């Protein structure tokens, strides 16, 4: 089933210069880039995006980190895109991520783990329009 999902190359990925590597891995897994842009989130924008985590102890640090530098937001389209992208990303903790995944190969820590991906159809439905208008998405 064709799906859309959102991925974000986080500030550490942009800083390390691995945007192309991340996108190549997604494309190599059969995903197609349908929309892409680089943005620098304000703390308010990052907080709104991660509102689902507001009551968790790491929320403040997450907002601070995600607004610390530019990020690349991408809409990916493909068969079972949500699960496929999450598989390519690997576990949130790079130490537990499977070899060959983005996080196992490129991430430094659970906090600086290179990439975000929608975790469900519901989150994708919230996250994609947070960054993109429908006219910007080219399927």
Q: Which residues contact 90 (CB under 8 A, 6 or more apart)?
A: 97, 98, 101, 102, 103, 104
Dig out the tokens for 119 from the structure.
């975790």
116 catalytic residue (yes or no): yes
Residue 131 to residues 7, 78, 125, Cα–Cα distance (Å): 11, 19, 11
Find the angle CA(33)-CA(34)-CA(40) to the nearest 5 degrees: 80
Q: Which among 7, 11, 17 is positioned nearest to 83, based on CA atoms? A: 7
Give the active site residue among 49, 74, 116, 132: 116
Taking the C-alpha atoms of residue 15 and residue 128, their distance in angstroms, rounded to an integer, is: 23
Q: Give the residue numbers marked as catalytic.
A: 116
């Amino acid at each position: 089933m064709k799906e859309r999902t959102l991925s974000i190359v986080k500030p550490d990925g942009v800083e390390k210069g691995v945007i192309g590597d991340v996108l190549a891995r997604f494309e190599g897994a059969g995903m197609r880039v349908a929309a892409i842009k680089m943005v620098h989130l304000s703390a308010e924008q990052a907080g709104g995006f991660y509102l689902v985590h507001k009551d968790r102890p790491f929320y403040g640090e997450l907002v601070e980190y995600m607004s610390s530098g530019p990020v690349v937001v991408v809409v990916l389209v493909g068969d079972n895109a949500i699960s496929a992208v999450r598989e390519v990303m690997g576990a949130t903790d790079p130490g537990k991520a499977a070899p060959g995944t983005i996080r196992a190969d490129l991430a430094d820590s659970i906090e600086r783990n290179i990439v975000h991906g929608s975790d469900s159809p519901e989150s994708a439905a919230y996250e994609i329009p947070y960054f993109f208008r429908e006219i910007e998405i080219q399927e």
